[in-house]
Amino acid sequence: MSQRVFLANLSDFSEKGRQVFSVQGSSVLVIKVAEQFYAVANHCPHLGLPLASGKVEGSTITCPFHGSKFDLASGENLDWVTSFAGLKIPQWSRRLLEMGKKPTPLQTFPIIVEEGKLYIEL
Ligand code: FES
């Protein structure tokens, strides 16, 4: 059975359109794009590094460390380990940087906006 967890009042949500919450010991990143909220685990499935400063384009986020790209709604992996320190890397060197990790989806959470409050479901 799912559990609804309060995150914030909408009026307190970051004007930057993204905010990290600690939810039962886990870091959850909430992103607002064009009035739509998305909630995802704030750790990239590649090496577990934080996604909070990742580039958001539409409903996708790109990991700031090695360029893996994910759909914010479904968590689907759209591209896997494409760069290092912001520089694109050739296909042959991706395997080295992957460090044996296979493309993996990003964990997402249902998000609820109700009566001016933001919740996620665990
Ligand atoms: S930690 Fe995100 S792609 Fe490597």
Closest approach atom of ligand 1 to CA 68: 3
Q: Is the CB of 62 under 6 A from ligand 1?
A: no
pLDDT for 50 equals: 98
Distance (angstroms) between ligand 1 centre and the Cα of 97 equals: 9
- The conformation of residue 112, written as its DSSP 8-state character, comes to E
d(CA 14, CA 37): 12
d(CA 94, CA 90): 7
Q: Is the CB of 69 under 6 A from ligand 1?
A: no
Domains identified in the chain and CATH numbers: 4-121 (2.102.10.10)
Distance (angstroms) between ligand 1 centre and the Cα of 118 equals: 28
Q: Is the CB of 63 under 6 A from ligand 1?
A: yes
Q: What is this structure's pTM? A: 0.94
* pLDDT (tens place) for every residue of the chain, 122 residues total: 889 999 999 999 999 999 999 999 999 999 999 999 999 999 999 999 999 999 999 999 999 999 999 999 999 999 999 998 888 998 888 888 888 899 999 999 999 999 999 999 99
d(CA 122, CA 113): 15
pLDDT for 99 equals: 87
pLDDT for 85 equals: 81
pLDDT for 95 equals: 86
d(CA 35, CA 90): 37
pLDDT for 96 equals: 85
pLDDT for 2 equals: 87
Nearest CA to ligand 1 atom 1: 47
For 10-77, the DSSP string reads GGGS-TTSEEEEEETTEEEEEEEETTEEEEEESS-TTT----TT-EEETTEEE-TTT--EEETTT--E
